[in-house]
């Protein structure tokens, strides 16, 4: 974990500009903030949206989740980007109804399961997390957490899977979407965590969430999905269309750096110290290699991420038996940030690369 990020230099940089049709000044009150202060500011901006009727969602999908042909539903559980899906659905005419197998009809998938918030309003009809998906696959997912699995017990026609979690910190069954939609769903969960920040005290939560907030094991996975599957034209269009209906936006689509500023390396103040561990970096300053040691921990298979000061992911390395070596030979001189998760806890540190 994560599958999406190779152990090579990644030319992936979070956009610092705002995408889509964001109203002028929409995020001004969040400027310069990080951590919980930023999450609260974003909550205050997108709070109080116009609730929809559940029956309205069928009509909304004709603009929020329609493909370029204007008649085919965009189902993230059956779509095969760059390929031909096993089936497609016509908007309106193939709504569920009953189903007995994959490909029978599409329904309304609460990607953040409704049982996690007691089927309550306005979450129950919040279009940002309710996608049109195949009814059978939706049923197979049920209320399982999203995750990654190395031993699928069931696989859909587009490659979505159910199986035991391979994500460090959680061993129960999960539903793994295909790589092309992992970022979409990560940004959906960041939206839920922020839109309902401070409003979730009565939610029962789940194995993946404490109220609206992702649990410790899920945060690094969602951030990795967010980084590897960047914001698409589909998401930007959907964000703009939902805004027309509800009057609020998904900030993590408009500015992907918000996620890193709240949960990741761009948050200089880490508020949850009990979920943190320390790492040893040497030599620091580094010239060609940086060694990473995690005293007291022997985790393997997790990934160490290196970011520059602009928030761009510039290098990764796999941790083996509590140790990793990061190549710094191709990095310009300057300061960098390192982050990793080991035994369900997060570690961050800074280091310097010198000139050669």
Position 4 in a domain: no
Helix locations, the chain, DSSP H: 35-46, 56-64, 135-141, 182-195, 218-228, 233-246, 251-254, 257-263
Boundary-marking domain end, from 229, 263, 297: 263
- The strands making up 289-293's β-sheet, listed across from edge to edge, are 280-282, 289-293, 323-327
Position 91 in a domain: yes
Position 109 in a domain: yes
Boundary-marking domain end, from 208, 239, 263: 263
Distance CA 208, CA 349 (A): 26
Token code pair at residue 27: 């995020």
**Together in a domain, 191 and 259:** yes
Please answer whether residues 45 and 243 qualify as being in contact, where contact means their C-beta atoms are separated by less than 8 angstroms: no
**Together in a domain, 244 and 132:** yes
Residues 6+ away with beta carbon under 8 Å from 41: 29, 30, 33
Distance CA 141, CA 119 (A): 17
pTM of the model: 0.78
Distance CA 342, CA 265 (A): 16
**154 to each of 2, 24, 101, 162, 242, how far by Cα in Å?**
20, 46, 13, 5, 32
Residues 6+ away with beta carbon under 8 Å from 92: 58, 62
**Range of 219's domain?**
18-263
Per-residue pLDDT tens digits of the chain, which is 356 residues long: 444 433 333 334 554 445 568 999 999 999 999 999 999 999 999 999 999 999 999 999 999 999 999 999 999 999 999 999 999 999 999 999 899 999 999 999 999 999 999 999 999 999 999 999 999 999 999 999 999 999 999 999 999 999 999 998 999 999 999 999 999 999 999 999 999 999 999 999 999 999 999 998 999 999 999 988 999 999 999 999 999 999 999 999 999 999 999 988 777 765 544 467 788 999 989 999 999 999 888 888 888 888 887 767 889 999 999 999 999 998 998 888 888 888 877 788 888 898 76
Specify which residues 289 forms β-bridges with: 327
**Together in a domain, 327 and 220:** no
Position 51 in a domain: yes
Boundary-marking domain end, from 228, 263, 298: 263
**Together in a domain, 49 and 167:** yes
């Amino acid at each position: 974990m994560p599958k999406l990020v190779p152990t090579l230099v990644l030319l992936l940089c979070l956009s610092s500009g705002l995408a889509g049709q964001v109203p002028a000044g929409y995020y001004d009150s969040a400027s310069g903030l990080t951590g919980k202060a930023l999450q609260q500011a974003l909550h205050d901006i997108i709070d109080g949206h116009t609730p929809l009727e559940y029956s309205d969602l069928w009509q909304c999908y004709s603009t929020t989740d329609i493909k370029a042909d204007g008649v085919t539903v965009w189902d993230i559980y059956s779509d095969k980007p760059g390929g031909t899906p096993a089936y497609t659905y016509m908007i309106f005419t193939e709504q569920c109804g009953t189903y007995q197998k994959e490909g029978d009809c599409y329904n309304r998938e609460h990607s953040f399961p409704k049982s996690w918030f007691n089927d309550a309003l306005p979450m129950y009809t919040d279009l940002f997390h309710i996608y049109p998906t195949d009814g059978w696959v939706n049923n197979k997912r049920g209320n399982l957490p999203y995750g990654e699995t190395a031993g699928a017990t069931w696989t859909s026609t587009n490659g979505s899977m159910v199986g035991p979690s391979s994500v460090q910190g959680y061993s129960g069954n999960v539903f793994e979407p295909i790589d092309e939609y992992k970022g979409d769903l990560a940004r959906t969960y960041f939206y839920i965590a922020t839109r309902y920040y401070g409003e979730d005290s009565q939610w029962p939560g789940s194995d993946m969430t404490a109220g609206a907030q992702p649990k410790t094991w899920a945060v690094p996975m969602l951030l990795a999905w967010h980084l590897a599957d960047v914001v698409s034209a589909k998401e930007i269009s959907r964000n703009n269309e939902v805004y027309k209906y509800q009057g609020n936006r998904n900030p993590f689509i408009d500015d992907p750096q918000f996620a890193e500023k709240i949960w990741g390396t761009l948050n200089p103040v880490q508020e949850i110290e009990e979920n943190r561990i320390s790492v040893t970096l040497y030599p620091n300053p580094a010239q060609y290699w940086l060694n990473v040691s995690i005293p007291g921990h022997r985790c393997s298979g997790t990934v160490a991420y290196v970011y520059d000061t602009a928030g761009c992911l510039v290098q990764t390395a796999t941790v083996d038996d509590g140790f990793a070596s990061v190549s710094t030979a191709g990095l310009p001189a300057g300061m960098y940030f390192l982050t990793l998760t080991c035994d369900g806890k997060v570690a961050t540190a800074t280091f310097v690369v010198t000139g050669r």
